[in-house]
Structure 1
């Protein structure tokens, strides 16, 4: 018979109090530590909201994927339609394209990311899919495939439209994808100025308020419409850690800038990255059935790093969980258990534990002894008739 074993003796570190509570002024917010895959804050994070220009990140993703697939190159040029130019005439953010222009893909990437150009988004949509409507459908379909569960795209730019929605969680997850899947292209998010053909009178600068603060900010996108308020998706890297956050519903660009900096400061100052178990360090032993050895060491494959709230006082909660005894033979490096660690105020953290050594199946005498012990245990445990 197999049993589920729990051991709390595997790890002894101080238990922690939750990080000091953070009350954000945003109506919806999602804050994520990319390094440890930890959600630090979730306030209405799954609510589908008008994302304004923040949804341009999905247009950028589609463009980056086309580059990665080889369908286009950085020097590929696209035509500019009257439909694209109409967004400049309507007064939205723009890279000041005109009919007859042939911007390159590189121009358009900068025009979307740095200038937040609605015209650039339409050019990309039409260049990749023929029409903006077809591109929007493809964005929605691709978003679902990427796990964006609360997103629906009606256009390429985030222009106010019924049904055009994203959640802060989806924006955060999409941002992590852009950072991790396209590291060379992602660097454009940190650039501060782009002026296509020197046409921009005053607003050619990147609107990200964190880029000038020297705090490690390198992306991603702001957004604003009357319905959505002022929002932002940001990323900041300090040392080994990177955080991504998405906020919405701020009342002004000043409040947005202040809240973005407050969130970044809180995420780095209220949590410390600690190595709680080294790779290959034995954290427990598991019982083995019918093997040459009666126990086997359990070790993590990599360093176990956790975010520890700054106000730490007593002890982390840790358990080793496995279904056992483990039946021989067991190959070294096989995952046979999990280390489950909980920190108050943060999600549960699970780490696979591997067999530290090989355990061959026991020989004839070992199997005979084990069978005899099992029979004796069953005999002793049989109630009298």
Structure 2
């Protein structure tokens, strides 16, 4: 997933409908399919995320699950010291001292009711300690190109500013969460409430029940951070992600976030370039059982323009070639460069359409012979 380009705010684009009032000091609206920034205000300014941190917590958990290092049905007992430290601290699942919740239950608590206790229990159960887990969080941030973010805690609890993010980095993270782990994202995100151990709690996402297609992502609040929100909605294959940070009042966050994302869908249109799974190109492979691999779109890829306007563009595929085996199916191995006159180049991910294992001696001999004759 390429990092979000540093683009200007969208209202300068000719022909765009006036946007609603957004009083948050930090604001960003991104069309994920095209990578186009529809609006930005201080998108690269560092701020304290509070519970928005839990997006990265779920990302790391999903990654461990996808690699077989963590199981959804795995039970994790709560340590006595963890129970004492996090009992009824902020938002919780109200985990009892003898609890042994499953990984799936902990993730549901983290994502749906912002459970601080569940974050620490999951971190300790998955990696042995909170520092080990936050190490994975920071490694993931580096891998995603989140250059202005750092995580010191899995739940975003106040830590004198040691945990910080930017709106641009959060948009990158959210897009990667949805693209790389679509099944897990659909399973755990988008729930309006959660019942566990006889206790029902609501999700405070202001889009749920009001915005068509809303399915994420995470609210956050502490006295240190104010009221923040990363929100997402998908309509007809088109996904928008917004980041709002630093509100003083929750009602402003609620009303303005709903208006903001509706403006994104209404004032802008998306022209499809490639549907999800479509072949975009072919890349050469070195040292593999096959000499090439198809490059496919991991999601719908689009170009975005003000409503009612067609866009001219050029496309190019870029990768560091030849690719080296082994290659995993679905692995991001190339980029689609979309050039629209007057805009920064939009860089969209392309993934391997099939796995390419390392080739044996015969495969290497065959490939070498074919290369010698120019085939």
Give the structure-2-normalised TM-score. 0.71
Partner of 1:128: 126
| Alignment partner, residue 250 of structure 2 | 253
Q: Which structure would you say has the larger Rg?
A: 1
CA contact (8 A) 1:19 1:310 kept: yes
Measure how far apart 1:97 and its partner are.
0.5
Alignment of 1:143-222 (within 5 A): 143-162=141-160, 163-187=162-186, 188-200=188-200, 204-222=201-219
Q: Distance in 1 between matches of 2:103 and 2:312?
A: 51
Greater relative contact order (Cα 8 A, min sep 6): structure 1 or 2?
Answer: 1
- Residue of 19, 26, 29 corresponding to 1:28: 26
1:263 is displaced (CA, Å) by 1.2
Q: Does 1:223 align with 2:234?
A: no
Partner of 1:377: none
Q: Secondary structure at the match of 1:247?
A: strand
Distance apart, 1:70 and its partner CA: 0.6
Deviation at 1:87, TM superposition (A): 5.3
Q: Is contact 1:87-1:94 (8 Å) kept? A: no
**CA deviation profile, 1:108-161 (whole Å, cap 9, x unmatched):** 110100110000000011012211122223311221122111111111100011
Q: Distance in 1 between matches of 2:315 and 2:239?
A: 29
Q: Is 1:74–1:106's contact at 8 Å kept on the other side of the alignment? A: yes
Give the Cα separation in 2 of the matches to 1:146 and 1:80. 31
Return the alpha-carbon distance in structure 2 between the equivalents of residues 245 and 144 of structure 1.
Answer: 21
In the alignment, structure 1 segments of 5+ residues that lack a partner are: 1-15, 280-300, 322-337, 352-385
Residues 183, 99 of structure 1: CA spacing in aligned structure 2 closer, same or farther, 3 A cutoff?
A: same
1:36 CA drift (Å): 1.5
* C-alpha contact 1:108 1:124 (8 A) present in aligned 2: yes
Listed as ranges, the matches of 1:6-25 within 5 Å are 17-22=14-19, 23-25=21-23
Cα distance in structure 1, aligned partners of 2:274 and 2:55: 37
Q: How does 1:225-240 map to 2 (within 5 A)?
A: 225-240=222-237
Superposed CA deviations along residues 28-61 of structure 1, whole A, max 9, x for unmatched, are 1221101212121221111121000001111111
- CA-based RMSD of the aligned residues comes to 2.9
Does structure 2 conserve the Cα–Cα contact (< 8 Å) formed by 1:271 and 1:307? Answer: yes
Q: 1:39 touches 1:347 (CA, 8 Å); kept in 2?
A: no
Match in the other structure for 2:114: 116
Q: 1:108 to 1:304 in 2, by over 3 A?
A: closer
Q: Partner of 1:110: helix, strand, or coil?
A: helix
Distance in 1, Cα, partners of 2:244 & 2:189: 18
CA-CA distance at 1:84 after TM superposition: 3.2
- Answer yes or no: is the 8 Å Cα contact 1:53–1:159 preserved in 2: yes
Give the SS at the match of 2:194: coil
Residue in 2 that maps onto 1:85: 83
- Give structure 2 stretches of 5+ with no counterpart: 1-12, 279-295, 317-336, 349-375
